[in-house]
Every structure is written in structure tokens, then in C-alpha cells.
Amino acid sequence: MKKYLLIFFLPLVACEPGGSNTVSEASQPAPDTAAAAVVSADDFIARANAELAEDNAAYMATAWVRATYLNEDTALLASQSAQKYAAWHSRTVDESLQYEGTEMSGPTARALKLLKLGTSKPAPADEAGRRELAEITTLLDGMYGKGKYCPDDGRECMSGSQLEELISSSRDYDENLDYWLGWREVGAPMRQPYQRFVELANEGAAELGYADLGEMWRSNYDMTPEAFEAEATRLWSQVKPLYDELHCYVRAKLGDYYGEDKVPQNGPIPAHLLGNMWAQSWDRIYDIVEPYPDAVALDVSKTIVERNMSPQDMVRFAEGFYVSMGLEPLPDTFWERSQFSKPRDREVQCHASAWGMDGGNDLRIKMCIKQTYDELKVIYHELGHNYYQRAYKDQAPLFRDGAHDGFHEAIGDTIVLAMTPRYLNDVGLIDSVEPGEESVINDQMIRALRGIAMLPWARLVDEWRWGVFSGEISPDNYNRAWWDLRQRYQGVAPAVARSEADFDPGAKYHIPANVPYSRYFLAAILQYQFLQALCDEAGFDGPLHECTFYGSKAAGARLNAMLMAGQSQPWQDTLEKLTGTRQMDGAAVIEYFQPLMAWLKVQNAGRQCGW
């Protein structure tokens, strides 16, 4: 998929499934309680960090080979590696419990907490449970990665990436519905193994002292789970008015295009008409909703194609932005070891991701890059992960992660926001152009169709899982609850009836791969705060949507100072280092899109908005 929403983040492997720090099972047996008691908490954490540093390379190599060679052999290796990490994590966390309530340094106390939260899929303590969980997670990941839609009418089978491209380019109502339904056939067989996964992961979370896996995930934000839920609700309330205006406008345009019999103007939008397999971003239907078709267009894709830029050429442009801010170029090994294109001889995961193989020295990306502006922006995003990984490489292994997972996603997104027309012209990706008011509205519409349209989606994916993990959503209600949330938050619905014979959540990578999704929602807020802070540091004076900090060494130094902290302190402290405030805030989102918001209100006057 296009990794704006991507990806996801596996500490030490950004945008890949997995937990916080990964390591193979330590060779030494667990000390008995009497022996362990004489070891201080500080010494215990020093040992845990040493084990992470020593064994993580093997785990990462296995994960990389699995992602770039999808076959039965790599599935077996990945499953065994996951079991080893799960055994190490369970045993080490169990040992750590003896230090609760004892005196220790602040960094050690934080490291103990992060150790406990160091996986998104805690395994049961018993060996059989760990093995079964590892086998199921590998199975689900492979089912998605190798999934295909094979029509009954004799057409060739189509992969997920092929279907994504087809649904984004087709404007035929029935054809898109066929692609949409076809991909959801991949999800249906996942229902039973996913149900078992939930049982096992909940068992593991309970052994760590959490009510369920959802509570464990929500505990990873330097606040109580209840406070985090309230914070997410507050942030959504800040940006929801902009989403509501966008939804109203897009629904009206789709009604004009397909007919109001197919797109009723008082209800949700059919999910297969938004140019994206999951309706999580809507920028691929820009041709239908474009505000000013005759305005000057910034056609970066045309430049990429005309120059026949290779995947590596495109990555060099992205690297150049970071280097312009005073950050070091990527290492030679990045260019030697990354996957830039889809191999012809094997199945791979094309889902864009960024990898820090050894704690920040061996950096890589994994993509199947195409010659489009969308793909170029994905590259700029992925390198944000890589530069973050390198910045905190000198932290202790347990602190080698983002301040919270939303930070990791927001860095590259912030750079993409700074890819303004002025910047694109400066680096030769477009001809000199002075954007007029109509061009500004067009540009903001494109960005909103991607960044604002995804906000409710990013909110609901984990809310569904929280309900599943807690038992509030039972297995016989998985699909109905999924669509209830999608209609409530997104205002989208399936065009045909869905039932519990289906498992539509499984058609989204992050569900079978068990990648927490709140990070993308938080990143969508934070990136505008980061943009505002970096523009201030660069001395920019003007509307926020016109700002780029390309070439600003001052902005680069301030950004890198934040990145270097990793997860060594509460995220509030790290946020304050860059922005001067300790609270996430959606106000900068509304400020950035103020021109579009005002324009949408005029366009929607007299329309019946809402669903």
C-alpha cells in the first residue's frame, strides 16, 4: 500500500509488523529468585539491554528475509524467530516483576516499563502457547502477503497491489465493486485464526497484568489507558469539523458523477467509490472532485516519467531534503541492501517500510517503487523513519524507539508537508510557477483527500480492536461491529450486504499483521505541530501551508535534537523540546487548511451534510 498510513512501525523495523525491541532467546537460563534478588534493578536492565543488542541482528535478518522472500521456508524461520523473542520477552518480564516497588534510578524505572510493553503481541508464558501464537501470526501475515483474487470468469488472478491500482484508476461503478469484493475474499479465511490469535494474545497480556491486549496498547503513551482514550477523543473533536465539510463536498461530487441513486445525498458514501481499497484516503478520485480543473497544475509525476527516473533516483531526491537540513547522507549499505523494486522471480511484501537492522547503522527501505509523485512522497515519508532510527542509535536498546509510536510516523509526514511548490521548483521537479488562489485550493484539496480523509479511519481501526480484545465485540459480531464503526466515523458503507461469513477487517494489512494503528491518527495531528515549530525555527513568515524548511540547518538541528532522545523520556518532554508545548493539539491542522475550510463552507451551503 502507499505508505502514508502505512506502515506501521516495528521498533527497529519501522512500518513492519511486530513489537518494540526484537531479540532472539537469550542462551542463559533464567536465574532463580534467590540469585536474581542480589542483582540490582540497574544491573538487570543493563543485562536486558546487552541481550537486546547482541541478539537483535539475527531476528532482524530473519524478518528481512521473510519480507523479501515469501515462501514456506522463510515462514518457518520467521515463526521460530518470533517464538524465541516471545520466550525471551516472557521470561525477562517475569524476572523484572521482582523489582516493582524497589528503589531504582529514573531511567531504569522507565526501561522496566518499556520492557513490559515491548511487544504488540504478548505470548503466553507456556511454550505451547508461544509456539501457537507465533505460528498463527506468521500464517496471517502470509495469508495477506500472498493473497490474490481469482475471478470465476477466466481472468487471471490479481494480487493486492494490482487490485489497489485498478480500483484507484477505474471509474466504473460495477468494475470497482468487483475489485473491492474480490480482495475481501482474502479476509474471510482469516476469521478463525484471528479469533484464536486474540485469545492467545489476551492470555499473554493478562500474564503481564493487563485486562486485555487493548488495555496494554493504550498503556504505552505515558498516561493511563483511560486518559489516552480521552485524549484521542479530544483530538478527533478538534479536526472533525474539517472532515465533515470534506465528506459533504466529496459525496456531492460523487453523486453528480455516478448519480444520486448510487450515491444518496443523505447517507454514507459507498466504500468502493473513493479510489482506495479501504476508503482510507481519497486522493485518487481527485479528477472527480477537483475544485478548479483549469488552474495551473503541479505535475511532478510527468517530470519523473519524462526523466525516466529510477527508484534510486527518486530516493536520492528524498535524501537530499534531509541532507539540506544538515543531516548526514544515508550509508552506502542503504543503497546496497534496500529493496527498491519488485523482484521478478519471487513473492515479496511490497508494503512500504523502513528498517533499522542493527539499531541504526544498517538502514534500509523495502518498497516496490513506481514512477509517480505519490510514490515519491512515500519515499520521503519512509526516510523519516530511517533518520529517526539513526538519530537515537546511541540510546540504550530499550530506548531505541519514537517518543511514542505517532512520533515515528509524523517525522516523514512533516517533510512531505514541506514539499511545497516553492520547494519542488527549487529542486527542479516542476517548472517555475506562482500558485494563485485556485491552485492553492487545488493543492489543499489533494492533501486533505489524503491526510484529512484518513483521520476517522485511523481512529476506528484500533477502536474496533479494543472492542475485540476486551470482548465487547464478540467473534460472531466482528463484521457488523466493523461496519458500524466505519459508518459512524467515516460515513462510508458497503454497497452490498456483508455478513459474518465475511471478515472484512482482515482485508487491511494492519489487522492480520497486528500493527497498532493509533500511531497514524496521532501522527496526522503531530505532523502539523512539527511543521509549525520547524517553520518558526527556520524563520518563515507567512501562511503555514506555504512553509518549507528545506535548506534550514537551524530547523534540522532542532529536529535532530528531538529525534536523538528516542523513547528515553516521556513523550511530553520530547514534544516540548521541539514545539514548546507538552500537549498534542489539532489547532495547527485547522490553521494549515484554513483556505480550504473556508472554500468548502461556501461550496456546501444549502447541502444536507452528515449521514
List, by residue number, the catalytic residues.
351-352, 381-382, 385, 409, 510, 520
Which residues lie closer than 8 Å to 408 by C-beta, 6 or more apart? 9, 14, 384, 385, 388, 401, 402, 519, 523
Cα gap 11→24, rounded to integer Å: 15
Grid cell, residue 593, equals 487548511
| Residue partners of 45: CB distance under 8 A and separation at least 6 | 108, 111, 112, 115, 396, 398
| Spatial separation of the C-alpha atoms in residues 357 and 63, rounded to whole Å | 10
Do residues 182 and 218 touch, judged by C-beta distance below 8 A? no
Rounded to whole angstroms, how far apart are CA atoms 92 and 87? 8
**CA-CA distance, 578 to 576, in Å (whole number)?**
5
How far is 573 from 583, CA to CA, in rounded Å? 10
Q: Where does 33-165 show beta strands of DSSP type E? A: 148-149, 158-159
Locate 227 and state its grid cell. 486518559
Query: What is the chain's Cα-based Rg?
Result: 23
Instruction: Check if the beta carbon of residue 66 is closer than 8 Å to that of residue 347.
Output: no
Quick check: 282 and 275 in contact, CB under 8 A?
yes
Q: How far is CA 155 from CA 152, 168, 283, 290, 306, in A?
A: 7, 19, 28, 33, 32
> Hey, what long-range contacts does 302-307 have (CB within 8 A, 24 or more apart)?
303/428, 303/429, 303/430, 304/371, 304/372, 304/373, 304/376, 304/429, 305/371
CA distance 90 to 208: 9
Write out the three cell numbers for 297.
Answer: 497544475
What is the rounded CA–CA span in Å between residue 116 and residue 39?
19
Give the residue among 361, 456, 299 at the shortest CA–CA distance from 57. 361
CB-neighbour burial class of residue 296 (10 A; exposed 0-12, middle 13-18, buried 19+): middle
